Amino acid sequence: MDGQRRYDLVLFGGTGFTGGLTADYLAANAPPEMRWALVGRNRSKLDAVASRLAAAAPDAAVPEIIEADASDRDAMRDVAATTRVVVTTVGPYALYGKELVAACAAAGTDYADLTGEPEFVDRVWVEHHADAERSGARLVHCCGFDSIPHDLGAYFTVKQLPEGAPLTVNGYVKTNARFSGGTYHSAVNGFARARQTLGAAKERRQLEPRVEGRKIHSAPPRVRRDERLGGWTVPLPTIDGAIVRRSAAALDRYGPDFTYGHHMVAKHLATVGGVAGGVGTAFALAQLPPTRKLLLKLKTPGEGPSEAERERSWFKVVFVGEGGGKRVVTEVRGGDPGYSETSKMLAESGLCLAFDDLPQRSGQLTTAVAMGDALLERLLKAGISFRVIESSETG
């Protein structure tokens, strides 16, 4: 990538809650020589963030300020042309992210976001994957709790299993944290755009080349009691499973025949019913503009829990992998997933794209495909645990 660009990295969304935490992390952990900027439409709010960063980390690289609106196509093209990497927390991405990712794909600028929106990811592949392949841009979505612990956790698990054998991996998610306002708004808008989501997925399936010589599967969905995991396991229909399977499709290390299942773990079956009922109700209410508006008022993007509340939050993802005569159980563990760890993961993804020696790949990529071992090493150093719990031969 062009080393003569003005910035190594620019951050969109630094005036929001998660974006502000991402800015804090970058100021505290980026190389002091990093050239970077904060981008947004409100100059006074951006200046306030820059002042806070300077007070908290006086020896850190000072970000410049760029005034630009995410809906302004020309402004997004100008920003993309000035930097090597763009990091953005501005969602819902289906509503606010189109111009920025298009500009990055055209300019050969690496891009990382926090989206968990299948429609946006599929639409970007349909409209911009080929452009990004030609320009050399790496478009990396889902660089927060959606979907780094799951994508890199499955990648880490596969690396513990024999090469060249059919493999099955199942991931099981536990957390005591609540969803962020941004994630909630993305989910409600996603429910409202169910038809568009299905349409984007269908268009991608029609255009995306099939994997040749290898097979990638989704594990059959089922609800069951698992005493070893301490609860009921339920299929989790988030974007994470699709991201893992896309990594498997792109990397031969996942073997000739790979199956992945993604699940949540609940202590009580009644909890499962409550969650399913709540999601069903929210989906129904999101279909009508008046009730959707009421749903969106329940949480505000840009607001979040106190530091003390975040310190009490945690997540754990257990992976069970089998194949080639071996069984392994691994674990990915961290703190507050919705805010603290998500901002850390996104910031480290941006720094990884900007400064690490990575595979020569381009287009829309998953975190495992774009960054793999380099990002895994960064996250381990940053305090997110990836470890093997059990390993045994299966005969």
Cα 2 to Cα 8, 107, 121, distances in angstroms? 10, 10, 26
Q: State the pLDDT at residue 189.
A: 75
Are 334 and 314 a contacting pair, CB within 8 Å? Answer: yes
Q: Residues 239, 268, 339, CA angle at the centre, nearest 5°?
A: 40
Q: State the pLDDT at residue 360.
A: 94
What pTM was estimated for this model as a whole?
0.92
Segment (H or E) for 9: strand 7-12
Give the residue extent of every domain in the chain. Answer: 7-144+341-378
Whether residue 1 has pLDDT greater than 60: no
**CA count, 13 A, side-chain hemisphere, 231:** 17
CATH superfamily ID and name for 7-144+341-378? NAD(P)-binding Rossmann-like Domain (3.40.50.720)
Whether residue 243 has pLDDT greater than 70: yes
Contacts of 330 by beta carbon, 8 Å cutoff, 6+ apart: 153, 156, 157, 160, 318, 319, 321, 386, 387, 388, 389
pLDDT tens by residue, 186-229: 677 777 888 889 999 999 999 999 999 999 999 998 888 888 88
Q: State the pLDDT at residue 103.
A: 98
For the chain, the 3-state helix, strand and coil shares in percent, each to the nearest 5, are 45, 25, 30
Q: State the pLDDT at residue 374.
A: 98
Distance, in Å, from the CA atom of 316 to the CA atom of 253, rounded to the nearest integer, reads 25
Distance, in Å, from the CA atom of 303 to the CA atom of 294, rounded to the nearest integer, reads 17
Running DSSP on this structure, what letter comes out for residue 212?
S
Segment (H or E) for 8: strand 7-12
pLDDT tens by residue, 280-295: 776 687 787 888 888 7
Cα 292 to Cα 272, 302, 350, distances in angstroms? 24, 19, 34
Whether residue 242 has pLDDT greater than 80: yes
Q: The dihedral of CA 38, 41, 44, 48: what is its sign?
A: negative
Lowest-pLDDT choice from 12-16, 193-197, 244-248, 383-387:
193-197
The three-state secondary structure class of 261 is strand
Distance, in Å, from the CA atom of 364 to the CA atom of 111, rounded to the nearest integer, reads 9
Lowest-pLDDT choice from 85-89, 134-138, 212-216, 268-272:
268-272
Are 169 and 155 a contacting pair, CB within 8 Å? Answer: no
Running DSSP on this structure, what letter comes out for residue 175?
E
Distance, in Å, from the CA atom of 266 to the CA atom of 292, rounded to the nearest integer, reads 28
Contacts of 62 by beta carbon, 8 Å cutoff, 6+ apart: 50, 53, 54
Q: State the pLDDT at residue 274.
A: 72
Q: State the pLDDT at residue 221.
A: 87
Whether residue 266 has pLDDT greater than 50: yes
State the chain's mean pLDDT as an integer: 91
Report the percent of the chain where pLDDT is more than 90: 71
Whether residue 395 has pLDDT greater than 90: no
Contacts of 246 by beta carbon, 8 Å cutoff, 6+ apart: 366, 369
Amino acid at 75: A
- Alpha helices of the chain — where are they, by DSSP H? 17-29, 43-56, 73-82, 93-96, 98-107, 118-135, 148-159, 181-192, 194-207, 240-250, 269-286, 289-297, 307-312, 340-355, 367-370, 372-381
- The label of the residue with tokens 């169910």 reads 194
pLDDT tens by residue, 379-390: 999 999 999 999
Phi-psi region of 242 (alpha: psi -120 to 50; beta: other; left: phi over 0): alpha
Are 393 and 161 a contacting pair, CB within 8 Å? Answer: no
Q: State the pLDDT at residue 2.
A: 54
**CA count, 13 A, side-chain hemisphere, 364:** 21
Lowest-pLDDT choice from 132-141, 297-306, 319-328, 363-372:
297-306
Report the percent of the chain where pLDDT is more than 70: 94
Whether residue 95 has pLDDT greater than 80: yes
pLDDT tens by residue, 121-147: 999 999 999 999 999 999 999 999 999
Whether residue 268 has pLDDT greater than 80: no
